[in-house]
Structure 1
Amino acid sequence: MTRTDSLQPGPGIDSSYAWMRLAISMLLATIGAVGMWAVVVVLPAVQAEFGVDRAAASMPYTATMVGFAAGNVLVGRAIDRMGYWIPALISSIALSAGLLLAALSTSILQFTLAQGVLIGIGTSVIFGPLIADISHWFNRRRGVAVTAAAAGNYLAGALWPTIMPTLMKAEGWRFTYAAIGIFCLVTMVPLVLMLRRGAPAAAVAGSPGSRSVQPISLSPAALQVLLVVAGLGCCVAMSMPQVHIVAYCMDLGYGVAHGADMLSIMMAGG
């Protein structure tokens, strides 16, 4: 595996820098995962403005998830070759551009394309690839580090839906999207640049570390397939209430803010 991102040799596994990198990664995920949840909050407003039914209004979320899934593979492959920070930088800019273009969209098709191509793929860098990257920096506390990095996505789901309704009520969904896009650009780019150090040499070389590894009868390919099936079974069940909860609460007369609060509670529990 070729790695070209090292500006200087990385410090050791489980070092103080590793913990700092984890904190930066969590913050990056909390900001960047807005790409997954913003579309859920604005769904009722988008549906009303473009005059489409609920099925058509849900397509941007579907496109976002398709882009997110594809991005985890494509960006992950790029990270295998170049290291984390360069693909992450490009993805962060793509996410910001997608939010800005979505704010300027004049049809549900344009909005859907911005969500799927730019926001979905751009957001992917803060999930699977980020988790894989942080796993290189820990041995004794790898489980904690990986779950903490993954938790950034859920922190975003708890935080952003509580912020967006207030701004949407005052300025509308387009302004809210544009403001979030600018915020992502000015915060994520510096955070990504703080992650330019290459992975520790032992991690790049595939060192097993000090822990013993228990052999299993399944091949890596079989394990990968099982993980994909498990992910589908888990996330399909979760995504259905998540994508419709805000619009459903609005249909019941509770308003967007209360629907967003419900989404926030669901994600905080994650």
Structure 2
Amino acid sequence: MSAYLRNLEDRHYALVVLAASFMMLVIANGALFLLVVAMKDIAATFDWPRTIPSTAYSLQFIGGGLGGILMGWWLDKAGMGKPALLGSITVSGGSLMIAGIDEAWQLFAIYGLVIGLFGNAAMFSPLVANITRWFSRNRGMAVGLVTSGQSIAGFMWPPVFEYGLGTVGWRDTYLFYGAFGIAAMVPLSFLLRRPPPKAQPRSAAVEGSALDPDAPILHIRPHTLLALLCCAIVGCCIAMSLPLAHLKSHATDIGIAPMEAATILSVLLGGSFLARAFAAGLLMMKIGSLRTLFVFSALQAVTLGLMPMAEGLTAIYLLALVFGFGYGGIGPTYPVIIREYLSEQWAGRYTAIVIMFGTFGMAIGGWIGGLGFDMTGTYHAPFLLGVAFNVINLVIVAYLISATRRHHTGRLQAA
């Protein structure tokens, strides 16, 4: 089997890389959703306020974002195989360690350092940056399919974990998940050791622009564009993190049974899968990556604003599905924007930088939700605050779209 894979042409092996990357995201993101599902149980075990497990949720994103810079550099230097192996071991090993915690600092350290800094840091931005190097055609679809692994994780894991909590408790559920992660992800990481094909040569003008980090692109200098993307992703990630971290808890707080509440999260991530695997890539082919980002971000903002007013299981199911569709479509756009408008030479590092700011947004959103609940007793105010941050994202993206139009207009006038 290994000899057969080694002899595959690059265009065929690209599908192997895509499938392995997808599966690694499905499995690795279980550590995130296990904390979301077990948040109330862990807090109840130690009589903690909900801010404590929410902080662990946030630290995972902060650690993953900071570690992503190192992993992006490692990807550019050594390829995807070694970061993927490290991430497989640390995400799974950290989950095994969670089963034995007794203090809040242990929960913080494991999620922030082991699972975040050395685990999930290798599991999103490097995998996404790597897949852009394997596909020149249909790149948006490839990125969407890989990132949809997060959505499938959110669709698949919550009911499984809820069943585990109800039968063996949260500690043993962490043990079973960690053991499964080691057995499944380590072999997958070996499939990612093969280097991607060399990029197609560009024209001299384009190549010179790609290698000059200060060359103006779309009337926006590359470093300015990178900074704007970092600010934009913070806004949309604060908004998307609030329901991801707290919708299950919010649903049980308003009287919905725990298993049904877990399925709400599955519906949300099911909508996300549809957007990432199909809609986002197709829409980017039709209207471009920036406009696609604006459409899905606007959909996310509207549905998040309606969540505090939703009552009853059917209404929450519907909002969760549409919110998930909006949230899911956002994820694939940023790597494609980076790949289209910034230097390919530093794609791994640029992607890691933007994703790092996204993880900061996810961390802030999770923390805001827990703090807001502890202060007010509901999630209404945190959800509405998330809408305000989402609007900031829309303003920045609208500016970038207008800059693109000015650039295209200038080219037509010059012609």
The TM-score with structure 2 as length reference comes to 0.58
Q: CA RMSD in A?
A: 2.2
**Deviation string, structure 1 residues 83-132 (Cα, Å, up to 9, x no partner):** 11101101110111110111111112211211111112312322111010
Residues 30-109 of structure 1 aligned to structure 2 (within 5 Å)? 30-109=26-105
Separation in structure 1 between the aligned mates of residue 237 and residue 105 of structure 2, nearest angstrom: 25
How far off is 1:74 after superposition?
A: 2.0
Between 151-160 and 220-229, the greater mean CA deviation after superposition: 220-229
How far off is 1:254 after superposition?
A: 2.4
Separation in structure 1 between the aligned mates of residue 78 and residue 36 of structure 2, nearest angstrom: 33
1:186 alignment counterpart: 183
Larger RCO, structure (CA 8 Å, separation 6 or more): 1
1:140 alignment counterpart: 137
Gaps of 5+ in 2: 1-5, 210-216, 273-415
Could you tell me whether the CA contact under 8 Å between 2:27 and 2:181 is conserved in 1?
yes
2:219 alignment counterpart: 217
2:375 alignment counterpart: none
Alignment CA distance shift 1:259-1:112 (3 Å): farther
Separation in structure 2 between the aligned mates of residue 208 and residue 116 of structure 1, nearest angstrom: 41
**Structure 2 counterpart of 1:86, which letter?**
K
Gaps of 5+ in 1: 1-7
Separation in structure 1 between the aligned mates of residue 233 and residue 8 of structure 2, nearest angstrom: 32
2:134 is paired with a residue whose SS is: coil
Residues 1-270 of structure 1 aligned to structure 2 (within 5 Å)? 11-12=9-10, 15-121=11-117, 122-200=119-197, 202-203=198-199, 207-208=201-202, 216-270=218-272
Alignment CA distance shift 1:135-1:164 (3 Å): same
Matched residues, number = 256
How far off is 1:252 after superposition?
A: 2.9
Structure 1: which 4+ aligned runs deviate by more than 3 Å?
A: 8-12, 206-209, 212-215
1:124 is paired with a residue whose SS is: helix
**Structure 2 counterpart of 1:71, which letter?**
G
Separation in structure 2 between the aligned mates of residue 126 and residue 238 of structure 1, nearest angstrom: 19
Could you tell me whether the CA contact under 8 Å between 2:84 and 2:192 is conserved in 1?
no
**Structure 2 counterpart of 1:223, which letter?**
L
Could you tell me whether the CA contact under 8 Å between 1:41 and 1:256 is conserved in 2?
no
Alignment CA distance shift 1:10-1:116 (3 Å): farther
**Structure 1 counterpart of 2:252, which letter?**
M
The TM-score with structure 1 as length reference comes to 0.88
1:136 is paired with a residue whose SS is: helix
Could you tell me whether the CA contact under 8 Å between 2:152 and 2:269 is conserved in 1?
yes
Q: Percent identity?
A: 33
User: Which has the greater radius of gyration?
Assistant: 2
Q: Which has the higher helix share?
A: 2
Alignment CA distance shift 1:257-1:124 (3 Å): farther
